[in-house]
Structure 1
Amino acid sequence: MRTGHATTRAETTRARYSGGVSASADIQIVRRLLGSKPRPVGWAERRARIVEVGGAWPVADDIAVEAVDTGGVPAEWSRAPGADTSQVLLFLHGGGYCSGSIASHRTMATEAGRAAGIRTLALEYRLAPEHPYPAALEDARAAWDWLESQGFAADQVVVGGDSAGGNLSLELWRELHRAGRPEPAALWLASPWTDLTLSGASMDDNDAIDPLLHRAYLEELAAAYVPADIARDDPRVSPLFADLTGLPPTLVQVGSDETLLDDSVRFVRAAAVAEADVRLHVYPHMIHAFPLWSAVLPSARAALAEFGEFARERLG
């Protein structure tokens, strides 16, 4: 996954994008989309841009959606034809805790539900810097409590999301676990951001080829989300450093070209040491949160199909 030598990595990077190394042609469509405008500046522009690129391809016509209030937190039910309405994917979107929304991640959330044959409940949790930690976790917990109040059994719910949503999925599980409450049947982590200290080697190894996330931007996101009195390596915000004993079955998917690659690799190792049932799939040439673009990426469709099979196994 990385050579350990910066010069070799740089040579490989240059070869890959000059034709010397075979690359996925489909990912270039997404790379062109992401590079079609200058990087947005400021929270409002960033939030608008993630909706634009995340929603570049429309939701399928056969998806039914319904807005719902989950204990004071806006959310959206979605289901494809034939979905089992007794089973749920609680979907927590990415965006570094500072952007992202139901709208930006609607295609990913709805197609994940289709793949698993279940309903999806996508959450519009509060964003930093206006609402730093623990606001997003409080909203996720409120949605979980609401699902329980509606009669959904914990073992019929999968919790998952991408990037910060993967982090938030883990934090919700940890809170339930510590409280001795019923826990989700499984977790799905797509390109999860598990280490807000940014200490993974891939942060530098993949800097030249990741079109989305770089150290300076991630530092800005972490500073906006984490209060000054909480250390960045605190397990409450960086689940890589948490006690993962009792972790539910977990599927981790990540692209080989992400600066956050090591956030997945090191997390899976930590979970394995804790004797968890954890699976890691690294998708070649894929970038951060690639399942967002299933309309044009075969690897994204494969990742969603893999999630669907995993969810069906765990939900019975």
Structure 2
Amino acid sequence: MTDLYVKLNTYLRADCLDTDLYRILMEELGSVGAEPTDVIYEEVKCPGTCRPAIWCKPLSTSPSRVILYFHGGAFIGGSPSSHRKMVAHLAKRVGAHALIIDYRRAPDHQFPKQIEDAVAAYKWLINDKGISSKAIAFAGDSAGGNLSVSTSLAARNLGLDLPAAIVAFSPWVDMRLSGESFKTNADRDVLVLLEAIQGVVDTYVGNASLDDPLLDLIHTDLKGLPPMYLTAGTAEVLQDDVVMLAENARSAGIEVQLELVEDMQHVWVCMAGNAPEADKTLSQAADFIRSKMAK
């Protein structure tokens, strides 16, 4: 997995950003996890966006409970296919179906198009599919972890009923890149380099202000959002992102379960089925989701 991380960083650097090669390599992320057993997959398009998505349907699980999953990839890469195996492992542990959406990606589509697609998928689940909001959890990793929070904010602002829980694995939520862990973990993180992620900020943000409440997640008012399970590895530069997000959420009266996993790299949960650390984190997240979802 380390070799893949190094290659991904190469094509993410601001001085040589190669979106096409980065996207190709991101698809290899699906190879680091084990194929889960007893899961049916279904490719669909979400009405309202016509964006492709993948249903992960573990056998003997309830279709009335759904994880709406937002994949990582710095807002420019990743797909339902690259995250299918890991999300299926999570869905099996929760006892629910999971929908992984293929939201529009930068640089062709910048903020807030990704959030708009995520909200549209959520509306489809509750309005067209008849899934109770209290039986839905938002989850995501890295950029997708950001979307699990920003989509909840957008749904709140629209007056929609909110999901039962938010889960964010290694979320990237500070577009100002202000965390001290960018310095303290610089020599330990093999995937996310400061000079690389700096080039991605403008690619995603475009002309929007970093003060936008849907971008400034570590300072914006999170009042009323669902309980959160937040986790990061102590070897990744985004460690402080999750800590600052947890502090902001708790100050807004939100229940937060924060897990900092010793020596883990960015998005280690993708090694589900092949690494005990990934399996443990997914089990903890699943326990949290089950405790918040309507039965």
TM-score range, shorter chain: over 0.9
Q: Which residue in 2 is equivalent to 1:226?
A: 205
Shift of residue 36, structure 1, vs aligned partner:
7.4
Look up the equivalent residue of 2:222 and give its one-letter code.
Answer: L
- Partner of residue 265 from structure 1, selected from 230, 243, 251: 243
- Number of equivalent positions: 286
| Residues 175-211 of structure 1, C-alpha deviations (whole Å, 9 max, x = no match) | 1112221000000011011100000000111111101
Q: Which residue in 2 is equivalent to 1:298?
A: 276
Shift of residue 231, structure 1, vs aligned partner:
2.2
- Partner of residue 138 from structure 2, selected from 147, 159, 166: 159
Shift of residue 53, structure 1, vs aligned partner:
2.9
Q: Which residue in 2 is equivalent to 1:82?
A: 60
Matches within 5 A, 1:9-28: none
Higher relative contact order (CA 8 A, sep 6+): 2
1:60 aligns with 2:6: no
- Tell me, yes or no, if the aligned pair for 1:163 and 1:190 is still in contact at 8 Å: yes
1:39 aligns with 2:10: yes
The sequence identity of aligned pairs, in percent, is: 31
Look up the equivalent residue of 2:147 and give its one-letter code.
Answer: L
- Partner of residue 184 from structure 2, selected from 205, 213, 228: 205
- Tell me, yes or no, if the aligned pair for 1:55 and 1:106 is still in contact at 8 Å: no
Structure 2 portions without partners, runs of 5+: 12-16
- Tell me, yes or no, if the aligned pair for 1:196 and 1:233 is still in contact at 8 Å: no
- Tell me, yes or no, if the aligned pair for 2:8 and 2:22 is still in contact at 8 Å: no
Look up the equivalent residue of 1:39 and give its one-letter code.
Answer: T
Q: Which residue in 2 is equivalent to 1:26?
A: none
| Residues 250-271 of structure 1, C-alpha deviations (whole Å, 9 max, x = no match) | 1001101110000001110111
Partner-residue secondary structure (3-state), 1:241: coil
In 2: Cα distance, 1:238 partner to 1:52 partner: 31
In 2: Cα distance, 1:174 partner to 1:35 partner: 33
Taking a change above 3 Å as real, the CA distance of residues 163 and 262 of structure 1, as seen in their structure-2 partners, is: same
Q: Which residue in 2 is equivalent to 1:3?
A: none
Matches within 5 A, 1:94-133: 94-133=72-111
Rg larger in structure:
1
Q: CA RMSD in A?
A: 1.5
Taking a change above 3 Å as real, the CA distance of residues 225 and 33 of structure 1, as seen in their structure-2 partners, is: closer
TM-score, normalisation: structure 2: 0.93
Shift of residue 58, structure 1, vs aligned partner:
4.8
In 1: Cα distance, 2:123 partner to 2:98 partner: 16
Shift of residue 50, structure 1, vs aligned partner:
1.1
Q: Which residue in 2 is equivalent to 1:216?
A: 195
Look up the equivalent residue of 1:231 and give its one-letter code.
Answer: S
Partner-residue secondary structure (3-state), 2:82: coil
- Tell me, yes or no, if the aligned pair for 2:184 and 2:237 is still in contact at 8 Å: yes
Q: Which residue in 2 is equivalent to 1:275?
A: 253
1:48 aligns with 2:24: yes
- Tell me, yes or no, if the aligned pair for 1:167 and 1:238 is still in contact at 8 Å: no
| Residues 98-151 of structure 1, C-alpha deviations (whole Å, 9 max, x = no match) | 111111111111111111110000001110001111111111011011112111
Shift of residue 215, structure 1, vs aligned partner:
1.1
Look up the equivalent residue of 1:60 and give its one-letter code.
Answer: P
- Tell me, yes or no, if the aligned pair for 2:41 and 2:54 is still in contact at 8 Å: yes
Structure 1 portions without partners, runs of 5+: 1-29
In 2: Cα distance, 1:35 partner to 1:227 partner: 26
| Residues 63-116 of structure 1, C-alpha deviations (whole Å, 9 max, x = no match) | 100011111121111121211110000000011101111111111111111111
TM-score, normalisation: structure 1: 0.87
Shift of residue 313, structure 1, vs aligned partner:
0.6
In 2: Cα distance, 1:207 partner to 1:165 partner: 22
- Tell me, yes or no, if the aligned pair for 1:55 and 1:103 is still in contact at 8 Å: no
Partner-residue secondary structure (3-state), 1:104: helix
- Tell me, yes or no, if the aligned pair for 2:145 and 2:169 is still in contact at 8 Å: yes
Partner-residue secondary structure (3-state), 1:286: coil
1:170 aligns with 2:149: yes
In 2: Cα distance, 1:262 partner to 1:56 partner: 26
1:181 aligns with 2:152: no
